[in-house]
Structure 1
Amino acid sequence: MKENQRIAKGIIAAVGGEGNIRSVAHCATRLRIMVNNKDEIDQEKVENIDKVKGAFFNSGQFQVILGTGTVNRIYEEIEKLGITGKSTSEQKEEVKEEQKGWKRAIRTFGDVFVPIIPVLVATGLFMGVRGLVMQEEILGLFGLTPADISDNFLLFTEILTDTAFIFLPALITWSTFRVFGGTPVIGLVLGLMLVSPSLPNAWGVAGGDVHALMFLDFIPVVGYQGSVLPAFIAGIIGAKLERKIRKHVPEYLDLIVTPFLTLLIMITLALFLVGPIFHIVEDYILDATVAVLNWPLGISGLLIGFFNQIIVISGVHHIFNLMEIKLLEQLNFNPYNAIVTCSTAAQGGAALAVGLKTKSKKLKALALPSSLSAFLGITEPAIFGVNLRYGKPFMMGLIGGGIGGFAASLLKLKATGMAITVIPGTLLYLNHQIIGYIFVNVLAIVVAFALTWMFGYSDKKNIVKETN
């Protein structure tokens, strides 16, 4: 306890003292500090504090990487010192006020989709488990064949694997209303209207078994099961419309009039204007994505695997959530996951090389746990605490990610879900792909490790530099 208190006091002092701190919040791995004057931060001093795995300034916040569990304890000590904390969502509002243009737009996009990812991860795992238990080899262990599986069991598995995608528009409109200041339950109902069973099923229409309803002989009206963009745009417009209506409605009528007008206007716009237009846009995005992923000779895997962690550093990687969601919804698999998994694994391999090669006890204690974190799918400690700090290990990790992504593209690996990588990601490749998945990850790790060991790190150059 005393050690954590000392660390908390050290961080406060290194960022300019209590007077320079506007607010403090934390996420799963990082302490997020908003300061009055960025120039008063002594980043090197922060990074030399025990248990700190790295620090950087991004999106208006000074972010100190402490790791899961540790960050909660340090945050508690900071609160005990009387420094006012804020929730992460409250800090995000402050950050948005300071950001402009495309960075703000992309952060907002991430705020909408990040809360939805856990249910999509669970759905992907359900798909992987179903694929595993339905394999003839697995069934044969119990003396069964696919023909022996009852329709009721298949129905149960379909509930597990299909529900999140069927009602995806409802999840998106709920989250979008929440982010843009609307009433989330109104957004939820709007999304449910978009997938109403009274509308022609989108998948049935796509398969030719069902026909779209035609209004004015040229406007196709269908359900939007699994759609992303129509729900997202409808959510943005709906939240802003609700707020505008509320300003002009007397308080004693607000409970009745505001939700009534919001839902009436928005379902009309969504079905007859927003939906048809952005469904076409969505199809073009999916076609372009599939075309890039199908580039010959593994080129797409090489490029994506190399550049992915650079995109992660910029903080705009959440924009690819839409792409992965559409790949899963339309194709029932996700070829993007295996490629970015290699980029994650490679950064872990580079950090592992630094940890094993260095004689510095502090760096070893930082690099080895950071590499393990990367192998569990979280690269922040490895990137910001080790690889970027010394430069070359990060570049060697990029090369390893590119080589691994190249192999993943050649092998045409297809995940059953999204958002989990490296060791946890094995659960997405249980459908006869596990050997290939392990191979590309090991390849990425070995390449990054070997290059870092031989060319990417030297105590003589780096530790001496830090002590001067």
Structure 2
Amino acid sequence: MAKMQAVTIATPVNGEVIPLKAVKDPVFSAGMMGLGFGVQPSDGKIVAPVSGKVTMVAETKHALGFATPDNNLEVLVHLGIDTVELKGKPFDLKVGVGDEVQTGDVIATMDLAAIKAANKQQTVILAVTNSSDKLESLDVHDGTATAGTEVATGRLNANTFNAKRKGKLPKEGKYDQLATDIIKNVGGVENISSLIHCITRLRFYLKDESKANDDVVANLKGVIDVAKAGGQYQVIIGPAVTDVYDAVIKQIGPELSNDAETAKAVAETTAAANRPTTTWGKIKWALSSLIGVITGSMIPVIGLLAASGILKGVLALLTTFKLVSTTDTTYVIINAMGDSVFYFLPIFVGFTAGKKLGADPVIMGIIGGVLTYPALVTMASGKAIGSVLGMSINATFFGLPVHMASYTYSIFPMIAGAWLASKLEPWLKRVIPTVLRMIFVPLFEVIIVSGVIILFLGPIITMISTGLANAIVWIYNLSPSISGLIIGGFYQVLVIFGLHWAVVPIVANDIASTGHSYLNAIISATMVAQGGAVMAIALKSKLANIKELAWPATISAFSGVTEPAMYGINLKYGRAFVTASIGAAVGGFLTGLMRVNMWGFTGSLIGFTSFVNPKGMDFSFWGFWIASIVTVIVSFTLTWMFGFKDEDVNAVKTAPKKRHLGETA
């Protein structure tokens, strides 16, 4: 095997050579600009670190680029940190683009005193910007060194070495001139606030867009067109955008880049580019996006939900075996520990959904607080003063009749509210003067979003869920087994959108009036099914992070709390929710067929005593176990075979997370 050729790089200035990670600039120190080193200069004479051609000179003179002729290394010399803001005043350049230099030739001087007086770092940074393509490694010799002496040794990677040996090295630096022309015609470095890119466009934030010469930029060779949107000056490049972006950043300085916003823009525009065009494809895309938002908003609190579910299961056992009475203060305290995360869920979901959808998370948390405010919760459960379209009217707002719904335990209204806030907030910031934004943006946002949820969204959800509840009762009366099949298969879908709450009063009324509920027994089977599916994933997956979430979610589901299993695993990875729902349909069918009855509220496996008839044990108890065991077997087996594989985790990680409607690549 041929020995890889070594390359050498000299220090560009007298001083103390330091590792790149010690440089006080996160872009360079993290290696984002490539391998290299820093130098704390002892004087201001700058020399060429390599022999080759000058390929780039920054307009503000703070950076120079070189390309070596024998192996096409791209070497950047950056004079100081954040010195782009000094607009070239401390620098005197001796070379220009196209000049040939030899290692040690004087190429510039820098006024160290002026840089210090401007409160900027004097560190000279050298980076091989194409090192990821060219170098296997770069060994740097720290310590005091004289300008022009070798301080770093690297090895060409196999691809570059072999290409060089065959005389087929690709041309490098081909976008430097285009970058220079773009910078000049958007108004120069001094007119650029920052730069990001997406999958096809450079996105400049300019201080004054009127200084940009649109016609010249649009007609540059390598530029497709110019667009202006969202406060950005967008230069459409096409597939080569990352190369052009790198060339521009080399000239304007990494301090004007924003990696987080670039990653966000790439994700959004990738989603836009991949959006399907067929009707069925659009429906699938919309559903997938909705599920992504729901699960993404829930993930930060899944661990709490699982822990609370387990605690609620323990409390159910304590009360079942008469160790604690529901009237004891011990019960009240433990119940508060287990129930608080569910009771105040709108606050947590508001915060996480706000972060997910681009709304202010603190404001969304406050809106969640409005919905769980004790007086409003009391109002929701208060006496009705009338009814409209089957909805009870229990409040008035400026004299208008209002149905006040209960939002504790709810998820979907807050996600819808966060989406509305993400659209409302930018508009408010545009129309409200800067000096008033701190007070009036949150004021109007809380009023408008809370009002929309309370006055419109809540009543709409209640009306739909009431209609569904009436349909469920009608189906059950028609045929217990068919209703068990339908309710079992779709009940957890209702849970996702908060439409199941109209079913809960039916169950409560059944138990209060007759002492039992056939419907609640079917609902119990859906909990068991979610637990069986997530248990299959816990056993099948070899990923530690999945197992760590799946096992607590399994225990929680079998304790009657399905949210961790559903939002944390099953719904997130799609097919597992379907296989769990099939298992629930089978369990519901058997529960209805065997006329399994239930005398308590607590369901799933933890609630087995709820299936004991107070008048004496009957077949309901054994029917519960038969239906539950079959449900676990079906949901477990289908999930193991068809519902999940570890590759699904990577697929979800790399899938686009969010996209604004109307955005193009």
The TM-score, its normalising length taken from structure 1, stands at 0.50
Q: Give the number of the structure with larger relative contact order, counting CA–CA contacts within 8 Å between residues 6 or more apart.
A: 1
When you count helix as a share of all residues, which structure comes out higher? 1
The TM-score, its normalising length taken from structure 2, stands at 0.37
